[in-house]
Amino acid sequence: MSAAPVLERPAVEPHLDPALAAGEDVRPTGRRLGPGRRRRLAWLLGPAALLALWTLASATGLLDPRILSEPWTVVATAGELLADGRLQENLAISAQRAGLGLFFGIVVGALLALVSGLSRVGEALIDGPVQIKRAIPGLALIPLLILWFGIDETMKVLTITLGVFVPIYLQTHAGLRGIDLRYVELAQTVGLSRTAFIRKVVLPGAMPGFFLGLRFAVTGAWVSLVVVEQINATSGIGYMMELARTYGQTNIIVLGLAVYGILGLLSDGAVRFLERKALSWQRTLAG
């Protein structure tokens, strides 16, 4: 009896259950439909498994180092490049490009979403062009941007900005338009001014959408960065990898990929951290 699954109904003489007799807690705990309690660092499990698989495949010789360098070689390469300063230098310039592009993209996207979400004229003027921009792959604009701005930093930051502002705009706009009309009524009955309405109702109400957009935007910023750095750059992680390709240095290429991956993960984690802090009023499945 005591070994029976918790959900199974005791068939005979339930009062003789030894667990019950021992005073143990045998409440039939009904299955919760949510994903369960949040565990710290649980998100690291997947990446760690991937890393273990890679190590195992390299150690057993299943993976040819010419195809994909061994993890330890990549770590050693990272050490060398750090020692002569090349990694930090390229990382700094890459981070600067991504950061600037992200910053301008967030500002532009959020402002456009606000104007478009709060006025019909704004929506008529802004929403259409943004949807058209969305339909054009960001990379297809690069030839034009090179003609206009050359191949210096302006062009690189602008390419990233153009990739970033679209998801920020779309999600913030959707969040804004999704604000419950009942709150708008409430704002009227307590006599909120237009500014107070935006500050107290519109901005906080659009926050969940904005943060969703931000997560897309951060990933998008790194993607655009890779492209601009591999097409025409003389510095940055992408350039470092492109150079390594011409010399057949798989280890540096893989190191570059690992750096991009780590940057992407870290920045996504940072956004999620900010999101949890800013949206602590929400009660959701994510918990």
Partner 1 sequence: MAAHPGGLTAVATNAVSVRNLIRGFGPKGVLNGVDLDIAPGEFVALLGPSGCGKSTLLRALAGLDHDVKGSGVITVPDRVSVVFQDSRLLPWDSVLGNVTLGLREHDAESRARNALAEVGLAGREKSWPHELSGGEQQRVALARSLVREPQLLLADEPFGALDALTRIKMHGLLQDLVALHRPAVLLVTHDVDEAIALADRIVVLDHGRVATVRTVTPDVSTAVDAAGHEALRRDLLADLGVVGTSH
The footprint of partner 1 (CB under 8 A) covers 182-183, 185-192, 196, 200-201, 204-205, 207, 279-283
Instruction: Tell me the closest approach of the beta carbon of residue 178 to partner 1, in angstroms.
Output: 13
Q: What is d(CA 155, CA 285) in angstroms, rounded to the nearest whole number?
A: 41
**Please, how many CA atoms are within 13 Å of residue 83, restricted to the half-sphere of its CB?**
6
Instruction: Tell me the closest approach of the beta carbon of residue 185 to partner 1, in angstroms.
Output: 6
The angle subtended at Cα 73 by Cα 68 and Cα 77, nearest 5°, is 110
The DSSP line for 156-208 is HHHHHHHHHHHHHHHHHHHHHHTS-HHHHHHHHHTT--HHHHIIIIIHHHHHH
For residues 99 and 204, which CB has a smaller minimum distance to partner 1 in the complex? 204
For residues 131 and 188, which CB has a smaller minimum distance to partner 1 in the complex? 188
Q: What is d(CA 179, CA 189) in angstroms, rounded to the nearest whole number?
A: 17
Instruction: Tell me the closest approach of the beta carbon of residue 182 to partner 1, in angstroms.
Output: 6
Question: What φ, ψ does residue 23 adopt, rounded to 5°?
Answer: 75, 20
For residues 114 and 207, which CB has a smaller minimum distance to partner 1 in the complex? 207
Instruction: Tell me the closest approach of the beta carbon of residue 270 to partner 1, in angstroms.
Output: 21
For residues 149 and 183, which CB has a smaller minimum distance to partner 1 in the complex? 183
Instruction: Tell me the closest approach of the beta carbon of residue 190 to partner 1, in angstroms.
Output: 4
Three-state DSSP state, 253: helix
For residues 56 and 186, which CB has a smaller minimum distance to partner 1 in the complex? 186
